[in-house]
Amino acid sequence: MAALSSTPAPEPLAPPPAQTDPAVDIQDLFGRYRRADRDSIEGVSLAVRKGALLGLLGPNGAGKTTLLNMLCALMRPRAGTIAVHGLRFAQAPDAYKDLIGLAPQSLALYPRLTARENLETFGRLSGLSGVRLRERVAFGLEFAGLQDLSHRRVETYSGGQQRRLNLATTLLPDPPVLVLDEPTVGIDPQSRHAIHENLRALNRAGKTIIYTSHYLDEVEQLCDEIAVLDGGRLIAQGAIGALLARFTGKRIELRFDPRSVEAAADILRTMAGVEDVTIASPQLALVTDDPYRRLPAILKRLAHARIRPLSVAVGARDLEQAFLALTGTQLRDEP
């Protein structure tokens, strides 16, 4: 297993592929709150390709919300540039804002209004009217799964129902880029599942989605790429598989019926990319040059010899371990 280290890795994970036409292009961004004596975002460059479903991770206070607020033009960068679909906010503020839908971390709803009234109000604020407004409100209610409760005041809703509605308001004007700041915090697995399904469908339909969460398992399930912020800096960006591979120590552990271990080891020692095989029956560990690339061939070769591993584990078992290895295990809250 990869040793947990409290020293953050300094350089990006793997250079992201060159972006000729990214959805979001952030260059050398710095951001500081008024009266603060240090930057909350320090030199972040991040390109998000069109159609990406990017998980934005980082410990409390890492700067995720600050970065998203600057992306959504709610906070002015101290330095650096942001372009969305090639457009900078200063060039055309209204057109820029039309490109992005933000679901903020703090719920932004009118508690005294019903779900329908909330959606209608937010829809009008974003310039919708007439048939289009009615269509988008109906879509929002369906997205939030609140058709049956649409006439109840939002203050009577559960936390999960409010979260779902908060997210639905973001989608009303149908922007191509969705920025979701912890959209599933405090909600039950069913609501989370429903939100994930909806987001996947939106992503398949072409939306670029930036998704912030503390639930590493959900980011692992939902997103194909991640960016990790820590202390205002981007410390990793790339495919989730690549992040995990970096902390696996190139190691694959397989467990067998004890009668099969020796035969499995003999086979694995002959395989390309396998650097070392050690047996601790019924466990067998091998070191490869690239565990994720080699694993399919390994399993295929074993299956061909009618040997079936009882379990397979690649180094660091999950994103949580990789994340802790990247950002350290210490709490970062300021005094």
Ligand X SMILES: Nc1ncnc2c1ncn2[C@@H]1O[C@H](COP(=O)(O)OP(=O)(O)OP(=O)(O)O)[C@@H](O)[C@H]1O
Q: In whole angstroms, how close is the CB of 66 to Mg ion at the nearest point?
A: 8
Closest CB to ligand X among residues 80, 249:
80
**At its nearest, how many Å lie between ligand X and the CB of residue 326?**
14
- Asked if 60 touches ligand X (CB under 6 A), the answer is yes
64 or 136: CB nearest ligand X: 64
Nearer to Mg ion, 60 or 270 (CB): 60
User: Binds 7, which of Mg ion, ligand X, none (CB < 5 to 8 A, cut-off by type)?
Assistant: none
Task: Pick the closer one to ligand X by CB: 66 or 184.
Answer: 66
Closer residue to ligand X (CB): 94 or 334: 334
Written in H, E and C, the secondary structure of the chain is CCCCCCCCCCCCCCCCCCCCCCCEEEEEEEECCCCCCCCCEEEEEEEECCCCEEEEECCCCCCHHHHHHHHCCCCCCCEEEEEECCECCCCCHHHHHHCEEEECCCCCCCCCCEHHHHHHHHHHHCCCCHHHHHHHHHHHHHHHCCHHHCCCEHHHCCHHHHHHHHHHHHHCCCCCEEEEECCCCCCCHHHHHHHHHHHHHHHHCCCEEEEECCCHHHHHHHCCEEEEEECCEEEEEEEHHHHHHHCCCCEEEEECCHHHHHHHHHHHHCCCCEEEEEEECCEEEEEECCHHHHHHHHHHHHHHCCCCCCEEEECCCCHHHHHHHHHCCCCCCCC
The yes or no reply on residue 64 touching ligand X (CB under 6 A) is yes
Residue of the chain from 24, 46, 56, 65 that contacts Mg ion (CB under 5 A): 65
Which partner in ligand X, Mg ion, none is near 62 (CB below 5 to 8 A by kind)? ligand X
The binder of 110, among ligand X, Mg ion, none, by C-beta within 5 to 8 A per type, is none
Distance CA 140, CA 59 (A): 31
Min dist. Cβ of residue 171 to ligand X (A)? 22
Query: Cis (ω within 30 of 0) for the bond into 16?
Result: no
Q: How far is the CB of 202 from ligand X (least distance, A)?
A: 23
Q: Under rule CB under 6 A, which residues in 91-150 are in contact with ligand X?
A: 105
Nearest CB to ligand X, comparing residues 69 and 260: 69
Main-chain phi, psi angles of 230, to 5 degrees: -155, 130
Nearer to ligand X, 44 or 261 (CB): 44
Q: Is residue 61 a contact point for ligand X (CB under 6 A)? A: yes
- Does 331 engage in binding with ligand X (CB under 6 A)? no
8 binds ligand X (CB under 6 A): no
Smallest Cα–Cα separation from 118: which of 168, 79, 81, 80?
168
Q: Which residue stretch of 18-26, 43-51, 56-64, 199-207 sits at the interface with Mg ion (rule: CB under 5 A)?
A: 56-64
Q: Does 63 bind ligand X (CB under 6 A)?
A: yes
**Piece of the chain touching Mg ion by CB under 5 A; list 9-17, 44-52, 102-110, 193-201:** 102-110
Kindly list the residues in this chain that would bind ligand X in the complex (CB under 6 A).
Answer: 33, 36, 40, 58, 60-66, 105
Q: Which residues lie near Mg ion (CB under 5 A)?
A: 64-65, 105
